[in-house]
Chain A
Amino acid sequence: MSLAEDTDQAAQLIAYGLRPKVRPIENPDYRELVRRYRQQDSFARTVRAVASGMGLDVLDVTEAAGVVLGAREGSAFAMRMEDYYRRTRERNPRLRVLHGLAQLAIAATSFPRPDDLEDEEHAPRIAVNEVDEYLRDLCRRLDERHAEQELDPPAEDPGLERSWRMYARQPEAAATEDRRAWSGATRQVIARAFVALTEQGLMRKVSDALGGTYQPTPAYRIHVRELAREDVWFELDRITSENGLSRW
Chain B
Amino acid sequence: MGRSGANGEVSMQLALEPELAPYVPPDADTAFGDEALARRAKAMACTVPLHHLEANKGRVRDGEFSAYTVWGLAFVAIDTVTVQMDFDRGAAHGVVIEAMLPYAGRQAPERDHAEHREVCKWVLDELIGTSSQREFTVEYGDWNGEYVRRSFGFQLLVERQAADGSVYLRATDAAINVLVGALDTDVESAQAAAEAKLENLVRRGRLSEAQYAALQARYRTIQLGEQIRQDVAATRRNLATVDWAGEVSPRLDGALAHIGERLEVERRIAENIRETRDRAQESERRAQAASLIELLEECQNRHMILQRKLMEARQTFLIEQQRQVFAPPASVRLRDITRELLLPVLSLPLLDADAPAVGFFERVLSPRPQRIMRLSTLIAQLLAPPRERAELGAELLEPELRELTPYEAFPEPVREAAEAVLAQVESQPRRLSTLLDAALDHSPATAHLVALLALHSFSPALESQLRAGDDAPLLLAWSDGTPLPPQLRLSGGAPGDLAVASAGQAGPSFCGDDLLLARLDLAPHLSEVRT
Residue numbers of A with Cβ under 8 A of B are 17-19, 27, 56, 69-71, 75-81, 84, 93-94, 96-97, 99-101, 103-105, 107-109, 111-115, 117-118, 129-130, 133-135, 137-142, 144, 150, 152-156, 158-167, 169, 171-175, 184, 187, 196-197, 200, 202, 209-211, 223-225, 227-230, 233, 235-237, 239-240, 243, 245, 247-248
Chain B residues 122-163 with CB under 8 Å of chain A are 133-135, 139-140, 142, 144, 148-155, 158-161, 163
Give Cα distance in the complex from A228 to B237, angstroms. 19
Instruction: Provide a sorted-by-A list of 14 A–B residue pairs whose CB atoms are within 8 angstroms.
Output: A18-B367, A79-B362, A96-B354, A96-B357, A100-B358, A103-B364, A118-B330, A138-B338, A142-B347, A144-B247, A161-B349, A171-B155, A227-B364, A248-B339
Given contacts A114-B334, A115-B328, A174-B167, contact A75 B367 (CB under 8 A): yes
Which residue of chain A lies nearest to B352 when distances are taken between CB atoms in the complex?
A239
Contact pattern, B 157-180, Cβ under 8 Å of A = 1, otherwise 0: 011110101010000000000000
Which residue of chain B lies nearest to A80 when distances are taken between CB atoms in the complex?
B362
A164 near B346: Cβ-Cβ < 8 Å: yes
Give Cα distance in the complex from A167 to B347, angstroms. 11
A247 near B345: Cβ-Cβ < 8 Å: no
Given contacts A172-B160, A187-B161, A224-B337, contact A159 B349 (CB under 8 A): yes
Return the contact of A100 from the options B150, B234, B337, B356 (Cβ within 8 A): B356
B366 near A108: Cβ-Cβ < 8 Å: no
A133 near B365: Cβ-Cβ < 8 Å: no
B356 near A233: Cβ-Cβ < 8 Å: yes
B334 near A225: Cβ-Cβ < 8 Å: yes
B161 near A211: Cβ-Cβ < 8 Å: yes
Most chain B CB inside 10 Å of its own CB: which residue of A76, A109, A112, A245: A112
List chain A residues, Cβ under 8 A from B367.
17-18, 56, 69-71, 75, 77-79
List chain A residues, Cβ under 8 A from B343.
138, 142, 248
Number of A-B contacts (CB under 8 A): 272
Which residue of chain B lies nearest to A166 when distances are taken between CB atoms in the complex?
B350
List chain A residues, Cβ under 8 A from B18.
none
A173 near B345: Cβ-Cβ < 8 Å: no
A228 near B337: Cβ-Cβ < 8 Å: yes
Return the contact of A153 from the options B151, B237, B333 (Cβ within 8 A): B151
The 8 closest A-B pairs by CB, nearest first: A100-B357, A77-B367, A173-B161, A71-B366, A93-B354, A71-B367, A152-B150, A79-B368
B324 near A112: Cβ-Cβ < 8 Å: yes
A97 near B342: Cβ-Cβ < 8 Å: no
Give Cα distance in the complex from A100 to B361, angstroms. 5
Contact pattern, B 303-327, Cβ under 8 Å of A = 1, otherwise 0: 0000000000000000000001001
List chain B residues, Cβ under 8 A from A237.
344
B345 near A200: Cβ-Cβ < 8 Å: no
B488 lies within 8 A of chain A by Cβ: no
B358 near A142: Cβ-Cβ < 8 Å: no
B284 lies within 8 A of chain A by Cβ: no
A97 near B337: Cβ-Cβ < 8 Å: no
A112 near B237: Cβ-Cβ < 8 Å: yes
A162 near B348: Cβ-Cβ < 8 Å: yes
List chain A residues, Cβ under 8 A from B17.
none
Q: How far is the CB of B346 from chain A (nearest CB, A)?
A: 4
List chain B residues, Cβ under 8 A from A118.
330-332, 334
B335 lies within 8 A of chain A by Cβ: yes
Q: How far is the CB of A242 from chain B (nearest CB, A)?
A: 8
B333 near A141: Cβ-Cβ < 8 Å: no
B360 lies within 8 A of chain A by Cβ: yes
B135 near A169: Cβ-Cβ < 8 Å: yes
A230 near B334: Cβ-Cβ < 8 Å: yes
List chain A residues, Cβ under 8 A from B135.
169
Contact pattern, B 389-423, Cβ under 8 Å of A = 1, otherwise 0: 00100000000000000000000000000000000
B336 near A197: Cβ-Cβ < 8 Å: no
Give Cα distance in the complex from A105 to B360, angstroms. 11
List chain A residues, Cβ under 8 A from B151.
152-155, 158
Which residue of chain A lies nearest to B346 when distances are taken between CB atoms in the complex?
A164
B358 near A159: Cβ-Cβ < 8 Å: no
Given contacts A100-B357, A171-B158, A224-B364, contact A160 B336 (CB under 8 A): no
List chain A residues, Cβ under 8 A from B334.
114, 117-118, 225, 228-230
Give Cα distance in the complex from A11 to B367, angstroms. 15
List chain A residues, Cβ under 8 A from B351.
93, 159-160
B349 near A233: Cβ-Cβ < 8 Å: no
Which residue of chain A lies nearest to B161 when distances are taken between CB atoms in the complex?
A173
A163 near B345: Cβ-Cβ < 8 Å: yes
A137 near B341: Cβ-Cβ < 8 Å: no
Which residue of chain B lies nearest to A93 when distances are taken between CB atoms in the complex?
B354
Give Cα distance in the complex from A230 to B347, angstroms. 19
A113 near B144: Cβ-Cβ < 8 Å: no
